[in-house]
Chains A and B, each alone.
Chain A
Amino acid sequence: MVFYSLYIINKAGSLIYHYDHNLQRNEVEKTYSYPLEFVLDIVDDRVVVRFGEIDGIRVGYAVLAVNGIAVTGRTFAKEGEKTDIDVMDFLGKSQNYPVQLKFGRPPLRTNERIMLASTFHSLYAISAQISPEHGSSGIKTLDTDVFRLHCFQTITGTKFIVLTDLRQDGMDALLRKLYQIYADYALKNPFYLLEMPVRLDLFDQNVQAAIEQVDKTGVSVI
């Protein structure tokens, strides 16, 4: 099985913990000459491909590196230059070519994760509301073509969300195990404030250990 991510959302819908496990990134690095074959644009403070899917580069991919230097936001630091260089300005000048660019799906930023977590919180509530059957809960699993989301809501309203590949069944055991770890290492910690982000080393270690164990040997051993 492949385990992708864990999210914990408190009862008010804000993200209190997230953990990514062996996320593989699909990145493409190539050398280009002037002018570029595709249209780039600034979206959400990132340089993103707007038009022109070619050589495995897809619309929505961001420029991750220019000539091997990592891009942060819309700029990158160049040796010998005091200020950071704007990627769009740099790529607009023909004297900077040939240039080596690395493209990939932009990784989620913390702000986006918080936004997605609160989105899920409301999707969960609405899915229970529109149910054609009486007494339905919210979303328990959500299937897409590439991953499956498993959600477990505790009786106190905290949601544990796990993303795995499609082959995975019986994730309830892992979700309950994570709930137990949360109760043991976060809630029982006298320095942990309820409903606040979890930043505790012992909790991190135990979550990681539980996930690694499942990743190697499957859910049956928990």
Chain B
Amino acid sequence: MIFTLYIFDPNGNCIFYKEWTRRRHLKMAQDEEFKLTYGLIASIKAFSTRLSPVEPKDGFHSFATDKYIMHFFESTTSMKFLLTSDLTAPSLRDLLHQIFLIYTETVCRNVLVPARGRTIDSQLFISRLETAIQQSPYFSSK
């Protein structure tokens, strides 16, 4: 089951957020939640690189608690893609990479969209994202 998707730009602003089956909502404002999530991921990245016993290449991939898994993918341009799912899903990095490709095709290559710092409102992006997520074998809206 896929819960939520966050996309962060290199400055740490959340430029896209969507939820599917999310049962718990935080008591804080949504932008506070984005800041907390970005902060967590940025710290985990630094933490895991420093702690790494061997030379890391791209570092942090995912973490799991007893209720959810947070999957992480970072492009070379420091765009961060986060997907939360339940524990049945294995690595969803392929799906995140697919979302990244949809993003480059529909948002980056669109000359009418400013390069930085705008939330994604492309309908094409949203519809193609929706298809990609729903085609994933780990998506079910139980």
Q: Are B63 and A133 in contact (CB under 8 A)?
A: no
Q: Are A23 and B55 in contact (CB under 8 A)?
A: no
Q: Interface readout for B58-73 with A: 1 if CB under 8 Å, 0 if not?
A: 1111111111101000
Contact partners of A130 in chain B: CB under 8 A? 26, 33, 36-37, 40
Task: Assess whether B3 is interfacial by the CB under 8 Å rule.
Answer: yes
Task: Assess whether B118 is interfacial by the CB under 8 Å rule.
Answer: no
Bound CA–CA A57/B34 (angstroms): 37
**Stretch of B7-15, B43-51, B101-109 on the interface side:** B43-51
The chain A residue sitting closest to B63, CB to CB, is A142
B contact set with A: CB distance below 8 Å: 3-4, 19, 22-24, 26, 33, 36-37, 39-40, 43-44, 47-48, 50-68, 70, 84, 86, 91
Listed from nearest, the 4 A-B pairs whose CB atoms lie closest are A136-B67, A4-B53, A132-B3, A133-B67
CB contact between A145 and one of B26, B51, B59, B67 (< 8 Å): that residue: B59
Q: Are A134 and B24 in contact (CB under 8 A)?
A: yes
Q: Are A137 and B54 in contact (CB under 8 A)?
A: no
Give A139-167 interface residues, CB cut-off 8 Å to B. Answer: 139-147, 149, 163
Contact partners of A141 in chain B: CB under 8 A? 63-64
Task: Assess whether A138 is interfacial by the CB under 8 Å rule.
Answer: yes
Q: Are A133 and B68 in contact (CB under 8 A)?
A: yes
CB contact between B47 and one of A24, A123, A132, A140 (< 8 Å): that residue: A123
Shortest Cβ distance from residue A135 to the other chain B in the assembled complex, whole angstroms:
7
- Whether A144 contacts B53 in the complex (CB less than 8 A), given A120-B47, A135-B67, comes out as no
Q: Are B43 and A119 in contact (CB under 8 A)?
A: yes
Q: Are B53 and A132 in contact (CB under 8 A)?
A: no
Contact partners of B66 in chain A: CB under 8 A? 136-137, 140
CB contact between A146 and one of B36, B40, B56, B84 (< 8 Å): that residue: B56
Task: Assess whether A50 is interfacial by the CB under 8 Å rule.
Answer: no
Contact partners of B47 in chain A: CB under 8 A? 116, 119-120, 123
Task: Assess whether A26 is interfacial by the CB under 8 Å rule.
Answer: yes
Q: Are A133 and B3 in contact (CB under 8 A)?
A: yes
Bound CA–CA A58/B57 (angstroms): 11
Contact partners of B56 in chain A: CB under 8 A? 144-146
Bound CA–CA A145/B53 (angstroms): 12
Report which residue of B44, B56, B62 has the largest number of chain A beta carbons within 10 angstroms of its beta carbon: B44
The chain A residue sitting closest to B40, CB to CB, is A126
Contact partners of B43 in chain A: CB under 8 A? 119, 122-123
Task: Assess whether A11 is interfacial by the CB under 8 Å rule.
Answer: no
Shortest Cβ distance from residue A20 to the other chain B in the assembled complex, whole angstroms:
8
Bound CA–CA A105/B50 (angstroms): 10
Shortest Cβ distance from residue A139 to the other chain B in the assembled complex, whole angstroms:
5
Q: Are B37 and A163 in contact (CB under 8 A)?
A: no
Task: Assess whether A181 is interfacial by the CB under 8 Å rule.
Answer: no
